[in-house]
Structure 1
Amino acid sequence: MLTPLGRGTAAVSAVLYAAGWWLGYPEPAMLAVAGLVAVAGAVLWTLPRPRLEVDREIAPLKVGRGEPAVGVLHVTNAGRAGVRGLTAHDAAGAAEVAVDIPRLRPRGRRTVTYRLPTGRRGEIPVGPLRLVRADPLRLARRVREYGSPQTLLVRPRTVPLALLPSGRAHHLEGPTSDRSPAGTATFHALREYVVGDEMRHIHWKSSARTGTLMVRRLVDASLPTTTVVLEARPEAWADPDDFELAVDAAASVAAGAAAANFPVRILTGGGPVAETRGGPDDLEVLLDRLTAVAMAEGPSSTVDVVRRVRAGGSLVVVASGGADLGRIAAVRGRFDRVVVLRVRPGEAASAPPGVHLVDFGDLDGLASAWNTLGRAAGRGR
């Protein structure tokens, strides 16, 4: 079909031809004929339908905010004639990425890559992929869609944070089926039997149903939980970028605890976001759940959420500079450690007794302050 430039060229050529014929001047008519010939040639250029085999991949499918992700496009010319003038257009959320494909020889194959936008957290729909074939003058083009849309998961960005000492005697071996203290071992999941497992842990009903010996995986219920409460009310965040930094901070704290195989609980005023019990897949679950967190009016304030949190373990509140430190401090007796992370506060504040206050303006600042807090906590034990 004709592009806007092609339609304009055809219209102007028709007007020039009519004016030249009416006024008796051959020059405008010659220009008009040249323009019409160019438009007709452009249509004939794009009229053949090339036989193309197209495959698009996204690598990787999950990235942290701001980390690189690329589309990898493989285009094969299955026809007997060469193909040129191809441009790939791939939608990525609200943006569109365009990349030129070099000339394809008969039976030839080309691979091109292009960057996908990862500056915003969330599920980014990628596609549909469109291949546009245009003439050299861009007067006409043919558009075809290939494949189906895919989803790029842009998760929160994280920095390594160590697990803070709890300050009380807990069983620090991590989840295990053999070393859980008596009275604290609880059922978590089923897994296949391996040599060395105790026969008393075999789940006979599941084994009979599956035809494979299955054993109960037990966890130590006394492991201290890291509870992360994230302020998500819109009125608390004047700048959306501050909220994105708060989500990154919450993800970093949760990832640090999950990496040590400790239980993690994440909440906002709208309710629970994720809860894990300490396992190898916890980190993926936490980051995936935090990907979908957005600012929203919740039925409860952050302080109300803190008051209802189950006691024990560490409490980490991620809030703006206007956090009510006094009301948060009122629950300090229910937790081993209470930490408030304030994102880019406008002014300094003193931490109430029993509360550790960390102000930060970026993730690097958070990591530095967190490590300092961990060393101080270790010396105070």
Structure 2
Amino acid sequence: MPSPAPTAAPSPTAPLAQRAPVDESAWARLRRALAPLAAPVRRVLGVVSPVGWAALALLIACALAGAYLGWQESWSAAIVLALVVLTAGLWLIPRGSHVVSHGLLEPRVTVGDHALIRVTVDNSRARPLLPIRMEMPVGPAKAVFVVPTLPPHGHHDRGFVLPTQRRGVITVGPVSSVSRDPVGLLHSERARTEAQDVHIHPRTLRLGTVLHGTLRDIEGAVTQDLSSSDVSFHALRDYIPGDDRRNVHWRTTARTGRLMVRQFEETRRSSLLVLLSTRAQDYAGEEDFETAVSIACSLALDAVHDGREVRLLTQMGEVPTATPMRLLDASCLLGLGEDEDSALLARHGCASHPEASVVILVTGQDVDRATLARARTHTPLSMVMFALRSGSRGLSRLHAGSLPVVDLDRLEQLPTALRRAL
């Protein structure tokens, strides 16, 4: 009986499809088995500082030198380092169950306001608690303080001032208790509270009746669409089954002998579209952009408070204006970027919201007049449009083509700038 022909071993360069499949389930089972140990191992390794790793390496080197070279000095150094490493672990023993809480008087503040953070540490036990060091991140900075010895059921308060010079969202906390040895070999942190976000809103100004006079639309702008029920009377027509009998004009019906009903023109309330440029090249600095954000938010907030339709758009997207709080919270996330120019912003804004009756472009004084004139060409003639520019130049009015432009250098000039815009 002939023996079977030997099979050739797969070549290392053979295609992947011809190789024997790897048993992935074994690796998956191994990863699942080691997963519960990963977190504790990371915590243990994270306790050792760079100085601690250097001390361990030196300890191993001294022990090897004493074992293989017979140096008594190496053994002595290894013993000293071992004692230092072992005693360093004693400093990480928990010193007690401090009850820590932190909070702000107001979770939402305005730029320039005073915001205080209160940290409270209590001793809930019937024995004293030793002093402990605590840290609390406040945005990019970190507050460090020491809690003194707390007597049984003792109480300790600390206050910190939150920096509110810049608009944005600052994360406060968590408050962590820090344990470390005097040499700095080991370092352990234990979170005692949860982190909290603090919104620092931009400064805004209540415009009152100024914006009403600018919009000049108390009863609604009349359109050419006909309706059977509205406020602007247009004409009379024959009754059609289904019409509201309250619109029947009885005097004309009695004169003509057939039912006649009133016909109206549809009206719409003025809709404000605020375009805020976030293009970095339009501003001389961040302060000018902050003024522009305050101007745009003031315009939108005034319309929201008066029950008018308003949209606030930037190159980054649309800012929600459903409620004043959502508007101000979302404005904390606005920033400068390399975006499209104001002309393209006006084109996209008018295309997305063709129902707008008034368009206000808020930008910086570094944008050129040609861009502003091009922005007006992208806006329908039926829309009233003007631009407000923030920068170092004081209150002044000019034209970019057919677009009125008003320059201002601070938020307080906004009511006067609106009066000069039209």
Please confirm whether the aligned pair reaches a TM-score higher than 0.5, indicating the same fold.
yes
User: Who is 1:292 aligned against?
Assistant: 333
How well do the aligned residues superpose, as a CA RMSD in angstroms? 4.5
User: Who is 2:205 aligned against?
Assistant: 159
Deviation at 1:38, TM superposition (A): 11
- Secondary structure (helix, strand or coil) at the match of 1:371 reads helix
2:419 aligned with 1:371: no
**1:157/1:97 Cα in 2 relative to 1: closer, same or farther (>3 Å)?**
farther
Render the CA deviation track for 1:92-151: whole Å, top value 9, x for unaligned: 332222233343222111222212333443333333321235789999875321122222
Picking from 329, 350, 370, the partner of 2:398 is 350
Distance in 2 separating the partners of 1:81 and 1:135: 24
User: Who is 1:339 aligned against?
Assistant: 386
The answer (yes or no) to whether the contact 1:157–1:248 under 8 Å persists in 2 is yes
Paired amino acid for 2:147: I
2:118 aligned with 1:75: no
Deviation at 1:169, TM superposition (A): 4.2
**1:84/1:256 Cα in 2 relative to 1: closer, same or farther (>3 Å)?**
farther
The answer (yes or no) to whether the contact 1:2–1:43 under 8 Å persists in 2 is no
Distance in 1 separating the partners of 2:402 and 2:303: 21
2:345 aligned with 1:302: yes
Picking from 285, 304, 308, the partner of 1:258 is 304
Deviation at 1:332, TM superposition (A): 7.6
Deviation at 1:298, TM superposition (A): 5.0
Q: Give the greater-gyration-radius structure (CA).
A: 2
Distance in 2 separating the partners of 1:298 and 1:233: 7
Picking from 387, 398, 407, the partner of 1:359 is 407
The answer (yes or no) to whether the contact 1:85–1:136 under 8 Å persists in 2 is no
Distance in 1 separating the partners of 2:51 and 2:344: 56
Q: TM-score of the superposition, structure 1-length normalised? A: 0.64
**1:139/1:69 Cα in 2 relative to 1: closer, same or farther (>3 Å)?**
farther
**1:39/1:85 Cα in 2 relative to 1: closer, same or farther (>3 Å)?**
farther
Distance in 2 separating the partners of 1:83 and 1:42: 20
2:229 aligned with 1:229: no
Paired amino acid for 1:171: E
**1:81/1:41 Cα in 2 relative to 1: closer, same or farther (>3 Å)?**
farther
Deviation at 1:231, TM superposition (A): 0.8
The answer (yes or no) to whether the contact 2:166–2:200 under 8 Å persists in 1 is yes
Distance in 2 separating the partners of 1:73 and 1:233: 40
User: Who is 2:373 aligned against?
Assistant: 326
Q: Structure 1, unaligned stretches of length 5 or more? A: 10-32, 173-180, 185-219, 277-281
Structure with the larger RCO, 1 or 2 (CA within 8 Å, 6+ apart): 1
- Secondary structure (helix, strand or coil) at the match of 2:100 reads strand
Distance in 2 separating the partners of 1:298 and 1:122: 23
User: Who is 1:314 aligned against?
Assistant: 358
Distance in 2 separating the partners of 1:103 and 1:325: 65
2:174 aligned with 1:132: no
Q: Structure 2, unaligned stretches of length 5 or more? A: 1-46, 56-79, 221-227, 232-265
The answer (yes or no) to whether the contact 2:288–2:390 under 8 Å persists in 1 is yes
The answer (yes or no) to whether the contact 2:214–2:419 under 8 Å persists in 1 is no
- Secondary structure (helix, strand or coil) at the match of 2:398 reads coil
Distance in 1 separating the partners of 2:125 and 2:420: 70
Render the CA deviation track for 1:13-48: whole Å, top value 9, x for unaligned: xxxxxxxxxxxxxxxxxxxx9xx9999998767645
Deviation at 1:267, TM superposition (A): 0.9
Picking from 232, 235, 248, the partner of 2:294 is 248
Distance in 2 separating the partners of 1:244 and 1:333: 30
The answer (yes or no) to whether the contact 2:217–2:269 under 8 Å persists in 1 is no
The answer (yes or no) to whether the contact 1:263–1:275 under 8 Å persists in 2 is no
**1:126/1:259 Cα in 2 relative to 1: closer, same or farther (>3 Å)?**
same
Q: TM-score of the superposition, structure 2-length normalised? A: 0.59
Aligned length: 319
